[in-house]
Structure 1
Amino acid sequence: MTPPQQQRVVVKLAPNQPTYRLLVVDDIEENRLLLRHLLEEVGFEVWEAENGQEAITKWQQYHPDLIWMDMRMPVMDGYMATRQIRKQEQAQHLTPTKIIAITASALEEEKADILAAGCDDVVRKPFHENSLWDTLSQYLGVAYCYAEKEEISLGEDVSLSSTVALEANALKMMSPEWLHQLHQAAMMGDDLAVLQLVEQLSPEHQELIDTLRHLADNFRLDQITDVTMEFEFLGESQEVL
């Protein structure tokens, strides 16, 4: 379960590419802000919509190259919005926009329905950043500039195993509610939410504060996810007992 020692992290779009325009559609503001933050930080142009009806309007207005489409929303869901967009594309003889569904469901039947509605692919929630970059590369041909883990860590010579052990020991004194929130934030790749949770810690946990900030600032939320996972399982087992 040890990650590779050489891990590349996307830091920006490679030069001499088109300006990629993306639309993020989700009724939950925090989800939209998370995706927008990740995408804009790398160099994409991003717009938001909070339901399917608004998504169609923004699609008509901005002509995005790709839409991240939540499938379950009020007013108009992602299924209907996708069908409407595909219908208009056909009527106007437009090049089809890439539409990637975002869903928490793991049911294969639902995936089949999503693809039948006109989506090009499905990304499951919670997602990792790499799945976003890989999907954009696959469907738009996006190229990235990377940094190696060693370049980002600035010479910290601490082994991954000792870092994980240190975190696990420090986290044992945290409340189950806080640990659950931390795990969810890390699973979603939401570094801002992780940093907000870190702000809740008292100065007596300074070593943990520094470590979590370092991991969030250096794109290593995967380490937080791995370590907090054991507390998630522990909480489930205690509920059973």
Structure 2
Amino acid sequence: RHDDEKIRTIIIAQTASSFEREREIVIESGCDDFLRKPYKELEIFELMQKHLGICFIYEDMETEYTVYPVKGRKNEITQESFSGLSEKVLKQLKTAATVAIMEEVKELIETIRLTHPKLANCFTEMANDFEYGKIAQIIEEYTD
């Protein structure tokens, strides 16, 4: 922390611990807030709004579904991308991605590649960029 009265740095601790006592220790040590892993992007924006007073304005989506363009590829993920795909495999992939079990994620993507190569390519690119949370988020959005 910088002690200058004009500049106050906000400190938010990030941890994988699920214990409430851990939160108390972090706050007592001088942090302003606490963020548990895995977390969603929205949680970060909410903390920024809370501690920095930033107001975010969101644009309404006109489409019925979200399209996730994958950088470097022309492939896009839509509801149709999941058509006919095993719910069991998707559930396993979502779980593995949520807890970032990299080898299992890669194996499940290869299983998906047998029937849905374009979707597998998109997931592979995300996995290579360590965007496991994004994989889980996309599966949740399109399968729930």
- Code of the aligned partner of 2:43: S
Match of 1:222 in 2: 137
Q: Are residues 221 and 148 of structure 1, via their aligned partners in 2, closer, same or farther at CA, if it must alter by over 3 Å?
A: farther
Change (3 A) 1:154 1:93: closer
- Residue 101 (1) aligns with residue 19 (2): no
Point out where structure 2 has 5 or more consecutive residues left out of the alignment. 68-78, 125-130
Shift of 1:110: 1.4
| Contact 2:109–2:123 (Cα < 8 Å) also in 1 | no
Residues 113-140 of structure 1 deviation map (CA, whole Å, 9 limit, x = unaligned): 1011100000111101100111111111
Is residue 167–residue 208 contact of structure 1 (8 Å, CA) maintained in 2? no
The answer to whether 1:184 aligns with 2:95 is: no
Counterpart residue number, 2:116: 205
**Computing the radius of gyration over CA atoms, which structure comes out larger, 1 or 2?**
1
Q: Distance in 2 between matches of 1:113 and 1:154?
A: 40
Tell me if the contact between 1:111 and 1:122 (Cα under 8 Å) persists in the aligned partners: yes
Give 3-state SS (helix, strand or coil) of 1:101's partner: strand
Give the gaps of 5 or more residues in structure 1: 1-84, 156-162, 186-192, 229-241
Matching of residues 140-155 of structure 1 within 5 Å? 140-151=52-63, 153=65
Taking structure 2 as the reference length, the TM-score comes to 0.55
2:31 aligns to what SS in structure 1? coil
Residues 1:148 and 1:168: Cα distance change in structure 2 (over 3 Å) = farther
Please give the residue correspondences for 1:5-154 in structure 2 after superposition, counting only pairs within 5 Å.
85=1, 89-90=2-3, 93=5, 95-151=7-63, 153=65
Identity %: 23
TM-score (norm 1): 0.36
Count the aligned residue pairs. Answer: 118
Structure 2 Cα separation of the partners of residues 134 and 146 of structure 1: 13
For residues 142 and 85 of structure 2, what CA distance do their matches in structure 1 show?
A: 10
Q: Normalized per residue, which structure has more strand? A: 1
- Rate the CA distance shift 1:154–1:102 in 2: closer, same or farther, 3 A: closer
Q: Say if 1:99 and 1:121, in contact at 8 Å, map to a contact too.
A: yes
Cα-Cα RMSD = 4.4
Q: For the residues of structure 2 that align with 1:121 and 1:204, how far apart are their CA atoms? A: 45
After TM superposition, give the deviation of residue 94 of structure 1 in Å: 5.5
CA distance in 1 between partners of 2:58 and 2:38 (Å)? 23
Whether contact under 8 Å (2:113, 2:121) holds in the other structure is: no
Q: Secondary structure at the match of 2:34?
A: strand
Structure 1 108/147 Cα, relative in aligned 2: closer, same or farther at 3 Å? same
Change in 2 beyond 3 A, CA 1:124/1:183: closer
Please state whether the residue corresponding to 1:119 is helix, strand or coil: coil
Secondary structure at 1:118 match in 2: coil
